[in-house]
Amino acid sequence: MLALLAIGLALGLGAADGAGLMVLLVALGLPFLAMEYYLEGVARSFGWFRLAAVPVYILRPILIGLACMSLSAAGLELTLPLVGAVLIGSMALVTAGLALVLRRRLALIAPERAMPRRGQRRLWLMASLPLLLLSGLEDLTGYGDVLVLSLLAAPEQVGIYFAAARSLALAGFVAYAMTLVAGRRFALDLAGKSRAELQNSILDNTRLTFWATLGAVALALLAGPFLLGIFGEAFLAGYGVMLVLGGGMVVRAMAGQAGEALIVLGRQREGILVALAVLAVTAVLGFALVPVLGIIGAAWASAAAMACRTLALVLVLRHSAGLRVLALGFPRIGRMAAV
């Protein structure tokens, strides 16, 4: 439904170029993205963390990079439509492969199809709809800078920005990898009614997320000129974007897995309000800074939104649950490994 609405909006804006083309690409990718998230959630629910993470966050970026390098080596210009087609194609391929693997694994666990019990669907909907809204807002925030930029800048500039942002994908994967295990750890502590253990788990996750993200961002920035140069000499102009976004990611990591803690504590409403505020900051600052600073303005808008998210989560968790989040000391790896 969202894809059809987005296609209609793209046609209204003019799908041949500019903002209309960007909206059209997003619309074509939405069905694959939705299925990808659903299958990823199924894998996580069974504890198949590698199956949930590797195809989406490792295999897909590799496919995109290899495809773009091959097209560039073949002498083709990496325009927005071409990069968008590569992105959508990689999403479709990963989604299909993940679906096949999951179907095989689930068939081994439950060969016969079981019907849901009475009231089970309603319970599932009541629990999942707030999380659906929260996840959608966070995804929209993640691409909000690109969407705003596509409305105000030339497609070539959008391509440079997108390449710079994707070059930091490793740092984004680090935070996600922590999310895979943090929710389960928090839930176990909460079920055990040990507030002290829950507080320790939150602080340990913050430390590990911060230092791992800092290392990943540093590696990505060291390799930045090489990664951007793969797309062409013009893309080297995006290194400043990488610096600003990398700094924003480090600040964002200072909140650790506070968002997961809010969900486990049943405070999705606060999480949704924070996500709405962060999205508003991204949009407002983007429209204010991009006309003045260009692509670096979009980067500053995104980085400022990440900082606002960290501050908001720290304050909300402290005020609503009396739990501390900030902790920048070295993590206790042994305790985290016990998850």
pLDDT tens-place string over residues 135-162: 777 777 777 888 888 888 887 888 888 8
Please report which confidence band the pLDDT of residue 26 belongs to, taking 50, 70 and 90 as the band edges.
Answer: low
Residue 126 has pLDDT above 80, yes or no: no
DSSP 177-229: HHHHHHHHHHHHHHHTT-HHHHHHHHHHHHHHHHHHHHHHHHHHHHSHHHHHH
> Alpha-carbon distance 52 to 45, whole Å?
10
Residues 97-123 have a mean pLDDT of 78
Q: Rounded mean pLDDT of 57-82?
A: 78
Residues 217-230 have a mean pLDDT of: 87
**Looking at residues 108-134, what average pLDDT do you find?**
73
Q: What pLDDT is stored for residue 30 in this prediction? A: 73
Residue-level pLDDT at 3 = 46
Structure token pair of residue 206? 């913050």
pLDDT at 334 over 60: no
Integer distance in angstroms from the first to the last C-alpha of the chain? Answer: 39
Residue ranges of alpha helices (H) inside 110-167 are 120-152, 155-166
Contact 272, 313 (CB under 8 A): no
For the cut 60, the answer to whether the pLDDT of residue 316 exceeds it is yes
Q: Per-residue confidence at 6, pLDDT binned at 50, 70, 90?
A: very low
Structure tokens at 149: 């930029």
Nearest to 91 by CA among 18, 186, 27: 27
48: left (phi over 0), alpha (psi -120 to 50) or beta: beta
With a cut of 80, say whether residue 247 has pLDDT above it: yes
Mean pLDDT of 11-40: 66
pLDDT computed for residue 198 by the predictor: 84
Whether the per-residue pLDDT at 80 is higher than 80: the answer is no
Distance CA 291, CA 236 (A): 21
Alpha-carbon torsion angle 270, 273, 274, 279, nearest 10: 160
The whole-model pTM stands at 0.71
191 pLDDT band, cuts 50/70/90, is confident
The rounded distance, in Å, linking the Cα atoms of 238 and 245 is: 11
Specify the pLDDT at position 250: 92
Which span out of 133-137, 231-235, 323-327 was modeled with the highest average pLDDT? 323-327
- Is residue 259 helix, strand or coil? helix
Distance CA 334, CA 339 (A): 10
Q: Under 8 Å CB-to-CB from 96, ≥6 apart: which residues?
A: none
How far does CA 167 lie from the centroid of its chain?
14
Q: Classify burial at 145, counting beta carbons within 10 Å of its beta carbon; exposed 0-12, middle 13-18, buried 19 or more.
A: buried
256 alpha carbon, distance to own chain's centre: 14
pLDDT of residue 235: 84
What pLDDT score does 300 carry?
A: 94
Supply φ then ψ for residue 325, to 5 degrees: -120, -45
Closest by CA position to 163, among listed 252, 86, 97: 86
Distance between CA atoms of 207 and 325, rounded to whole angstroms?
A: 9
How sure is the predictor about 164, in pLDDT bands with cuts at 50, 70 and 90? confident
Categorize the per-residue pLDDT at 338 as very low, low, confident or very high, splitting at 50, 70 and 90: very low
pLDDT tens digits, 198-210: 888 888 888 888 9
Instruction: For the chain, give the percent of residues with pLDDT over 90.
Output: 14
**Cα atoms in the Cβ-side hemisphere of radius 13 Å centred on 325:** 27
Query: Most confidently modeled of 40-44, 121-125, 139-143, 237-241?
Result: 237-241
Report which of residues 109 and 311 the model is more confident about: 311
Confidence of residue 236 (pLDDT cuts 50, 70, 90): confident
pLDDT of 257-277, one tens digit each? 888 888 888 888 888 888 889
* Mean pLDDT confidence for 34-59: 80
